[in-house]
Structure formats: structure tokens, C-alpha cells
Amino acid sequence: MVVLTGVRAPFELTQHAIPIKQQGIDFAMRYYSHQAGKNLSLAEARALTDAGIQIGVVWETIGAHLHSFSRAQGLADGAAAYLMAQSAITQPSGSAIYFEVDCHPTADDIAGPITRYFEGVNQAFHAARPGEPRYQIGIYGSAASCRAIVASGLASLSWLSPSGEAGAADYAGYNLRQLASGVLPVDDGKKIHVDLARSNDGLPTGLFRVL
């Protein structure tokens, strides 16, 4: 396998798919959330696929604070993300939905509300499809969060945030890694501001294409 280069964008990339592909972008990370204007649409997914860009998705709940994380919130978010993936996007079976932990939890926070949140997500996925879940569960967050949640079996993929935490460089098990922000030129002399990302050579990513 090779290392893939990607972008993370909180806005629609439909009209930018071809120019960013021409600049060496292999995948685009987009959103599922309760904010319709931020979300991946089926038309956008098809445009990215047609341009040769793989797609990844991350669920962002309202507010990236510790009080946002609980089993009940995980159940609600897991159910909403699953429904969006299956009904709105027809996301392929076996691909992933990452869930964002965009804060700086302590070890106790990870063992407490963060773990309970992912227990809720797993419960929602199993309820949506009894037996083996249709989608993999991923976590976006610090090295400590990623390491603990994957080790617990509550997520199978991890996307490492640029948290700057001590020891993050020692975490080699990430599937995706968030990099610095960047600016890409697109059509008509415009530029878009995105966050860059990379895959980890040899490890799965949960990315997908649509028909």
C-alpha cells in the first residue's frame, strides 16, 4: 500500500473535486452532523468519486466538550450517523464512520465519559443491524484517546488529531493522521482553506466510493 494524502473540509467540495485531485489529493474527509450545511451529500459523494477521490466521514456532535459525551449521546449520535450513511449516502458496507473527540481528555475522562460514549455508538450500530454492524467505527482524537478506545475494541480505526500532547509521536497505530492547515488553489483563481491529512502506510482507512 501507499501513503494517501487527503483534505478535511467543513464545506462542500463538489465544484472543487477535479482541481484538488489534480493537485495530488487522494481522499476527502467530510462530515455527518446535525448541521445540514456542513454535511456530505450524495451529489457531492458522486462528484468526488467521479474525480477519483476517496471519501471519509466523521460524525461531529454539537459541542466538542466533555459534557457532550455520555452513553445516551453515543446512542443518539450512532443512530443518526448510521441512518445518514445508509439512507442519505448509501455508504458501502465495511467502510467507516469516525466519531470526533475534539477535546483534551484526561485518562479518567477517557475511561469514563469517552468510553461510555463509544459504548453507546456501538450499541446503536448493533441495534441498526443485528449481528455484524454494516460500518466500522473509528475515533478522531488524541493519541491517548485513540489508543484506549481502539484497545478496548470500541473502535477499529483511529484518526490522530494534531493535539500536540506529549508522547503522541510514539503512537504508530493510527490509520489517519491530521496534519497542518493548507491552502489549495481552485477554479477562477479562488483558494480554499482545508486541513491536510495522511494515511498510515499498510493500514486500512475505512475510506469509500459511491456508485
53-92 tens-digit pLDDT: 999 999 998 656 788 899 999 999 999 999 999 999 999 9
Q: What angle do CA 150, 133, 160 make, to 5 degrees?
A: 30
Which long-range contacts does 155-163 make (Cβ < 8 Å, 24+ apart)?
155/99, 155/118, 156/96, 157/96, 157/98, 157/204, 157/205, 157/206, 159/29, 159/58, 159/98, 159/197, 161/102, 163/104
Closest CA to 191 of 35, 3, 5, 7: 7
Q: Which of 82, 177, 181, 88 is nearest to 130 (CA)?
A: 82
Strands (E), 11-115: 27-32, 54-59, 96-100
pLDDT in the model for residue 68: 84
Q: The pTM is what?
A: 0.95
Read off the DSSP letter of residue 143.
H
Tens digit of pLDDT for each residue in 134-166? Answer: 999 999 999 999 999 999 999 999 999 987 677
pLDDT of residue 129: 84
pLDDT of residue 188: 79
